[in-house]
């Protein structure tokens, strides 16, 4: 019987046939796909003909189709709808996949063919895109250790396999801590909470099988609980549990895992001839060096800390006015900041939420994409991996562009956070293929679902990533969509957030859940005026995390990451009542894989550009200026990694921005 993962997907737009795939299909499908991929790689490496771009680079691009099918399905469900079997498979697959790809990157005959092409590149009559793909392929082999020999080569393979296992363990430990902890609430404990928080707590209790409402460690529930609960004792209990994820002792403790990961990364960098892992990692990014990253972060840190310190004084006074003495704590900040926001801006999130329906915000994100890029979205009735998922066909001028899948609600089987991934990337070689793109979020479920303003911003952010995938128009999948420098990949997503704040967008789509009336102009004005509220707090918690990440990787790996974290925070004068956005034991961006290691700063690097890029629209004909939209698509959204990121931005804007645009955008210096 043919494995449904590996058989032809005779489904609309060749979407994965989720309903016919069982967990028992994954392991045999992966084994078969790996064998097929190995045979393809061996054939390329052993080809007796002189290396050409077609018989080597394009052959590599075409290889591994079955692997792509298996891994796209598996990692989609493992991240968004895990279960014990999938967690077990993930633990088994991680070292196996690391060894598989290490075998390819250490194939000396294959690397020699790529190196031969690279040496002869000026004589090969390649297109600019082909030259770029060749360069990236050669660089990728070198950075993976293909030029290593003997013991160094063997040790590199061991390091890669161990890092893969550790990253999986870190992720699963974090998921276990988030899934297993919850705090029961009595009816009395619900007093003072807005209706949307009460509804979310009751829904969470049902999901957990509890007798009543609960608070979980899902950000979409715990943050509003910390904002609105008048019960300081319960806020403290919830906050301490939230910040202790991955550091509770026992089997799910991530602290020793983090230490081993950092040591292995340093060893890996040294094997490749770099002074530190940060030097290795940043070589291919826009920032290039750890010093440039540190300079950016400190330029933002000083004004952000000044603002946060001033805010802390005000919040402490508010707390003392409530008869509570002692210092402002982490479980106090959001509660008193929310009271202050209501007092200063007369903006009550409980009153705002009914105007931010999930469905209407989805419509808003689609409508902006239609006005900017001519995209149209039609619902698709197709089987997906979870009943919460929804799908749309994306077209332009009647032409199929992509399939977009949205998975919006929090659940215990889903890892925390929000992300965008492509189950299939755009490409024209070896055949024309349109992307299948997924946005995964963790919003509180409701009937209907209502979002906070931050939730709505997250929805637009992830949809910006989706547009980067959907509008990609390159030949080779290896450079399509979001296959760009890590500190450039957040530009489209953070830029798209700006359209949520365009008054005409909110006026049309921020409609009341019961009456259908648009958000009153007075409330809309308050929303926009309060957009930068509490930016001292938000910037400090982010920059502190980025500085700790950089310090972990810039120099010798710390044997005790928690001590290093404390040292960095003390050195920058971290305010007592603000925690890192991601403390080390739950810093999945950095420890679940290499993606954002030494690279958590990249959100801020991209924000320097996104503030400047949106200003380009405002300087032209406004947020929907067609010429700027066309320039954005032609120079950034459609180009993937076909050129250097700096070159792409210069083509769009004509210059590179300074940090002032970011500071003004966050309200940290005068506009």
Q: What is the pLDDT of residues 599-649, one digit of tens each?
A: 999 999 999 999 999 999 999 999 999 999 999 999 999 999 999 999 999
Residue with tokens 């061996």: 42
142 shares a domain with 95: yes
Evaluate whether 537 touches 333 at the Cβ level (below 8 Å). Answer: yes
pLDDT at site 348: 86
Does some domain include residue 461?
yes
Domain that holds residue 571: 251-347+535-600
461-484 pLDDT, tens per residue? 999 999 999 999 999 999 999 999
Among candidate residues 285, 338, 462, 541, the one labeled active-site is 462
Decide if pLDDT at 56 tops 90: yes
Evaluate whether 417 touches 588 at the Cβ level (below 8 Å). Answer: yes
CB atoms within 10 A of CB 571: 10
256-298 pLDDT, tens per residue? 999 999 999 999 999 999 999 999 999 999 999 999 999 999 9
End-to-end CA distance of the chain: 66
pLDDT at site 103: 95
Handedness of CA 125, 128, 129, 133 (dihedral sign): positive
pLDDT at site 591: 98
Phi, psi of 603 (to 5 degrees): -60, -40
Quick one: how far is CA 222 from the chain centroid?
20
Residue 347 pLDDT grade (very low, low, confident, very high; cuts 50, 70, 90): confident
pLDDT at site 497: 97
Of 245, 261, 276, the residue at which a domain comes to its end is: 245
Decide if pLDDT at 37 tops 80: yes
pLDDT at site 314: 97
- CATH number of the domain within which 65 lies: 1.20.1050.40
pLDDT at site 424: 98
205 shares a domain with 255: no
Give the contacts of 407 (CB within 8 A, at least 6 positions apart): 80, 384, 386, 388, 389, 390, 414, 438, 439, 440, 441
123 shares a domain with 22: yes
Does some domain include residue 546?
yes
How far is it, in rounded angstroms, from Cα 348 to Cα 194?
Answer: 10
How far is it, in rounded angstroms, from Cα 594 to Cα 537?
Answer: 27
Classify the phi-psi angles of 623: left when phi > 0, otherwise alpha if psi is within -120 to 50, otherwise beta: alpha
Decide if pLDDT at 671 tops 80: no
Q: For all residues of the chain together, what is the average pLDDT?
A: 96
524 shares a domain with 440: yes
pLDDT at site 350: 87
How far is it, in rounded angstroms, from Cα 590 to Cα 637?
Answer: 26
- CATH number of the domain within which 577 lies: 1.10.1370.10
3-state class (DSSP) for residue 671: coil
- What is the total residue count of the chain? 671
pLDDT at site 200: 93
In percent, the amount of the chain with pLDDT more than 70 equals 100
Evaluate whether 446 touches 224 at the Cβ level (below 8 Å). Answer: no
113 shares a domain with 51: yes
pLDDT at site 349: 84
371-426 pLDDT, tens per residue? 999 999 999 999 999 999 999 999 999 999 999 999 999 999 999 899 999 999 99
Point out which residues pair with 394 in neighbouring strands: 377, 402
318-344 pLDDT, tens per residue? 999 999 999 999 999 999 999 999 999
358 shares a domain with 341: no
Residue 77 pLDDT grade (very low, low, confident, very high; cuts 50, 70, 90): very high
Q: Is the peptide bond before 409 cis (omega within 30 degrees of 0)?
A: no
367 shares a domain with 402: yes
Decide if pLDDT at 650 tops 80: yes
For residue 107, give the nearest of 182, 191, 45, 164 by alpha carbon.
45
Does some domain include residue 2?
no
pLDDT at site 145: 96
pLDDT at site 447: 86
Residue 661 pLDDT grade (very low, low, confident, very high; cuts 50, 70, 90): confident
pLDDT at site 620: 96
For residue 489, give the nearest of 474, 468, 472 by alpha carbon.
468
550 shares a domain with 641: no
Q: What is the rounded average pLDDT of the residues 53-71?
A: 98
Evaluate whether 13 touches 393 at the Cβ level (below 8 Å). Answer: yes
Does some domain include residue 315?
yes
540 shares a domain with 508: no
558 shares a domain with 501: no
Decide if pLDDT at 1 tops 80: no
Evaluate whether 487 touches 428 at the Cβ level (below 8 Å). Answer: no
CB atoms within 10 A of CB 31: 12
The reported pTM is 0.94
454 shares a domain with 337: no
DSSP string, 405-465: EEEEE--TTS-SS-EEEEEE--B-BSS-B--EEEEEEEEPP-TT-B--HHHHHHHHHHHHH
Please compute Rg for the chain using Cα positions.
Answer: 25
467 shares a domain with 373: yes
Residue 522 pLDDT grade (very low, low, confident, very high; cuts 50, 70, 90): very high
Evaluate whether 492 touches 636 at the Cβ level (below 8 Å). Answer: yes
The enclosing H or E element of 69 equals helix 65-80
Does some domain include residue 166?
no
Residue 170 pLDDT grade (very low, low, confident, very high; cuts 50, 70, 90): very high
Does some domain include residue 175?
no
Does some domain include residue 172?
no
pLDDT at site 402: 98
pLDDT at site 231: 98
Burial of 465 from C-beta contacts in 10 A (0-12 / 13-18 / 19+): buried
Residue with tokens 């956070």: 417
Residue 74 pLDDT grade (very low, low, confident, very high; cuts 50, 70, 90): very high
Does the annotation mark 187 as catalytic?
Answer: no
Does some domain include residue 286?
yes
User: How many distinct structural domains can be found in the chain?
Assistant: 4
Of 147, 167, 197, the residue at which a domain comes to its end is: 147
- CATH number of the domain within which 420 lies: 1.10.1370.40
Residue 670 pLDDT grade (very low, low, confident, very high; cuts 50, 70, 90): confident
530-553 pLDDT, tens per residue? 888 999 999 999 999 999 999 999
The enclosing H or E element of 394 equals strand 390-396
How far is it, in rounded angstroms, from Cα 239 to Cα 597?
Answer: 26
For residue 111, give the nearest of 158, 70, 80, 149 by alpha carbon.
149
120-164 pLDDT, tens per residue? 999 999 999 999 999 999 999 999 999 999 999 999 999 999 999
How far is it, in rounded angstroms, from Cα 671 to Cα 655?
Answer: 20
């Amino acid at each position: 019987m043919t494995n449904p993962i590996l058989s032809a997907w005779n489904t609309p737009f060749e979407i994965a046939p989720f309903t016919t795939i069982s967990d028992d299909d994954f392991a045999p499908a992966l084994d078969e796909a790996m064998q097929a991929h190995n045979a393809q790689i061996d054939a390329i490496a052993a080809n007796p003909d002189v290396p050409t771009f077609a018989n080597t680079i394009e052959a590599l691009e075409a290889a591994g189709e079955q692997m792509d099918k298996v891994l796209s399905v598996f990692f989609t469900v493992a991240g968004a709808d895990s279960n014990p079997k999938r967690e077990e498979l993930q633990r088994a697959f991680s070292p196996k996949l690391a060894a598989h790809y290490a075998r390819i990157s250490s194939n000396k005959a294959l690397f020699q063919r790529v190196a031969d092409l690279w040496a002869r590149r000026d004589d090969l009559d390649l297109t600019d895109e082909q030259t770029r793909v060749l360069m990236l392929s050669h660089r990728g082999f070198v950075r993976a250790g293909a030029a290593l020999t003997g013991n160094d080569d063997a040790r590199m393979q061991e390091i890669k396999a161990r890092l893969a296992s550790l990253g999986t363990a870190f992720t699963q430990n974090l998921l276990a801590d988030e899934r297993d902890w919850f705090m029961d609430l009595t009816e009395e404990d619900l007093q003072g909470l807005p209706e949307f928080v009460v509804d979310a707590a009751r829904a969470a209790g049902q999901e957990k099988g509890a007798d009543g409402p609960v608070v979980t460690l899902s950000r979409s529930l715990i943050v509003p609980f910390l904002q609105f609960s008048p019960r300081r004792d319960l806020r403290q209990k919830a906050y301490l549990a939230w910040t202790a994820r991955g550091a509770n002792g026992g089997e799910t403790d991530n602290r020793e895992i983090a230490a081993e990961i950092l040591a292995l990364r340093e060893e890996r960098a040294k094997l490749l001839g770099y002074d530190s892992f940060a030097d290795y990692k940043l070589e291919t990014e826009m920032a290039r060096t750890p010093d440039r990253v540190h300079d950016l972060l400190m330029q933002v840190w000083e004004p952000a800390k000044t603002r946060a310190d001033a805010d802390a004084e005000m919040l402490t006074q508010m707390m003392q006015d409530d008869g509570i003495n002692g210092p402002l704590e982490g479980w106090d900040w959001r509660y008193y900041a929310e009271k202050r926001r209501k007092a200063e801006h007369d903006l009550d999130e409980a009153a705002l939420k009914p105007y931010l329906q999930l469905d209407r915000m989805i419509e808003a994100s689609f409508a902006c994409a239609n006005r900017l890029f001519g995209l149209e979205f039609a619902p698709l009735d197709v089987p997906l991996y979870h009943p919460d998922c929804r799908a749309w066909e994306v077209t332009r001028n009647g032409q199929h562009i992509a399939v977009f899948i949205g998975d919006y609600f929090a659940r215990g089987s889903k890892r925390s956070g929000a992300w965008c991934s492509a189950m299939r990337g755009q490409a024209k070689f070896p055949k024309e293929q349109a992307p299948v793109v997924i946005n995964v979020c963790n919003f509180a479920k409701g009937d209907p679902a209502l979002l906070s303003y931050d939730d709505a911003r997250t929805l637009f952010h992830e949809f910006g990533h989706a547009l980067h995938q959907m509008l990609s128009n390159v030949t080779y999948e290896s450079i399509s969509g979001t296959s760009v420098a890590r500190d450039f990949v957040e530009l489209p997503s953070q830029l798209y957030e700006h359209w949520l704040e365009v008054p005409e967008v909110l006026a049309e789509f921020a409609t009341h859940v019961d009456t259908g009336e648009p958000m009153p102009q007075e409330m809309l004005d308050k929303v926009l005026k309060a957009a930068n509220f509490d930016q001292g707090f938000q910037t400090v918690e982010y920059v502190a995390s980025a500085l700790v990440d950089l310090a972990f990787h810039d120099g010798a790996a710390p044997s005790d990451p928690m001590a290093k974290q404390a040292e960095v925070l003390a050195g920058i004068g971290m305010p007592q009542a603000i925690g890192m956005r991601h403390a080390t034991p739950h810093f999945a961006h950095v420890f679940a894989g290499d993606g954002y290691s030494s690279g958590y700063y990249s959100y801020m690097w991209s924000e320097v550009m996104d503030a400047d890029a949106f200003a380009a629209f405002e300087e032209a004909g406004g947020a929907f200026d067609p010429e700027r939209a066309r320039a954005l698509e032609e120079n950034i959204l459609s180009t993937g990694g076909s050129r250097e990121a700096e070159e792409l931005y210069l083509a769009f804007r004509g210059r590179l921005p300074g940090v002032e645009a970011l500071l003004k955008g966050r309200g940290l210096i005068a506009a």
